[in-house]
Amino acid sequence: MESTRKQLIELLNKKDGHISGQELSNQLNISRTAIWKHMNELKKDGYDIEAVQRKGYKILSSPDKMSENTLQWGLDTEWIGHQLFHYDQVESTQEIVHQMAKQGKPHGTVVIADEQVKGKGRMARKWDSPKGKGIWMSILLRPNLPPFKAPQLTLLAATVLAEMISERSALVPQIKWPNDLLIHHKKVSGILTEMQAEQDAIQYIVVGIGMNVNQNGEEIPEDIRHKASSLKNEAGEEWNIQETVQHILRLFERTYDQYESDGFEAIKANWEKHGYRIGEEVTISTMKRTWKATLVGIEPDGALCVRDRDGNHEKLYSAEIHW
Ligand code: BTN
């Protein structure tokens, strides 16, 4: 966000009472007319600002409605979300980020929408993204990694979402391989990672995060209600979507920075800590056979490692797991 605006909101929030236009103008080193213009912009963004003669200004309430300003305010990140674009309605945030990537937008660019009318899920499925009910967001990454390591970023994103839910609630999130977030065995979030790469270099990656946040039970499409849910539905209370988005972005940056400096080990351990049915025996089917095996963990290339009843280990890249 433009830094004067950010500082202005910070000053207004810091002060318990009112703060005069003169004091704001002194502290920010801008004219009182400029302060007045900023106040009008903030009001347009949904801030409720009280202006009292001879006392000054005070923020009575911040907007519930997401906007670029409200999302960026207080974000305090080094690189993620410095370029952040919010839309009321889009076809898919994923497609917008692909276009932005081609136009040269930087690592950490974020696109978020209140509603998607053509939300995309994995395997060409559609992703229901109703207005104001969830987080429909795509992040542009320009990692300096060989393409075979790209799945690690999807696994990383899943651990970020699990950590966020654990930190904000008493819910126990689990990650179902490869990257579905489950609460009480029902999917609340999914990740779609798309990569543009050359032979040995990633050009960019788009990490799409879809999270059902405030749908009530009956708002989940009927055909998937037995296996999908929302955070509100499971936690029993409404979630603040903006704060949840900010939490995800902060954690994403911290986890990504750690991954860059220390590698995949900590991500793997964290993924396995949250891994759904890790250590348990399940039935697995591929084109060739169906067998019983214990889920052991994940591999650095994103494969699922399983052990059959004879103790043989195998790496699976795609298989049907009978959860
Ligand atoms: C899945 O199938 O589990 C992945 C779902 C990913 C949905 C998100 S919502 C934001 C981004 N835009 C899209 O169109 N899809 C992803």
**Closest C-alpha among 153, 160, 156 to residue 246:** 160
- CA 225 vs CA 103, 167, 188: distances in Å: 39, 26, 11
pLDDT of the residue at 304: 95
CATH class of this structure's domain 281-322: mainly beta
Q: Which atom of ligand 1 is nearest to the CA of 94?
A: 12
Q: Judge if ipTM > 0.90.
A: yes
d(CA 52, CA 126) in angstroms, rounded, equals 51
Q: How close is the Cα of 192 to the center of ligand 1, in Å?
A: 5
Angle formed at CA 265 by CA 259 and CA 267, multiple of 5 degrees: 60
Average pLDDT for 267-289 = 96
Flag whether pLDDT at 1 surpasses 50. Answer: no
Tell me the pTM. Answer: 0.87
d(CA 282, CA 286) in angstroms, rounded, equals 13
**Residue from 85, 111, 115, 129 whose mutation best tests the ligand 1 pocket (most atoms within 8 A of CB):** 129
214: phi then psi, degrees, rounded to nearest 5:
-110, 20
- Amino acid making up residue 33: T
Q: Which residues does 250 contact at the CB level (< 8 Å), separation at least 6? A: 75, 76, 77, 80
Of the pLDDT bands very low, low, confident and very high (cuts 50, 70, 90), residue 13 is confident
Q: Which atom of ligand 1 is nearest to the CA of 113?
A: 10
SS3 call for 246: helix
Joined together, the tokens standing for residue 277 give: 């049915």
**Residue from 97, 123, 136, 161 whose mutation best tests the ligand 1 pocket (most atoms within 8 A of CB):** 136
Q: Are 153 and 143 in contact (CB under 8 A)?
A: yes
Q: Classify domain 68-274 by CATH architecture.
A: 2-Layer Sandwich (3.30)
Mean confidence (pLDDT) of the chain: 94
Flag whether pLDDT at 155 surpasses 80. Answer: yes
pLDDT digits over 165-215, tens only?
999 999 999 999 988 999 999 999 999 999 999 989 999 999 999 999 999
Whose CA is closest to atom 15 on ligand 1? 120
- According to DSSP, the residues that pair with 233 across neighbouring strands are none
The domain spans of the chain are 3-61, 68-274, 281-322
Q: Which residues does 204 contact at the CB level (< 8 Å), separation at least 6? A: 101, 140, 141, 142, 195, 196
pLDDT of the residue at 111: 98
Q: How close is the Cα of 218 to the center of ligand 1, in Å?
A: 21
Whose CA is closest to atom 8 on ligand 1? 210
Using left for φ > 0, alpha for ψ between -120 and 50, and beta otherwise, residue 132 falls in: left
Q: How close is the Cα of 198 to the center of ligand 1, in Å?
A: 24
Q: Would you tell me which CATH number, out of the four given (3.30.420.10, 1.10.10.10, 1.20.140.10, 2.70.98.60), belongs to the domain 3-61? A: 1.10.10.10
* Burial of 225 from C-beta contacts in 10 A (0-12 / 13-18 / 19+): middle
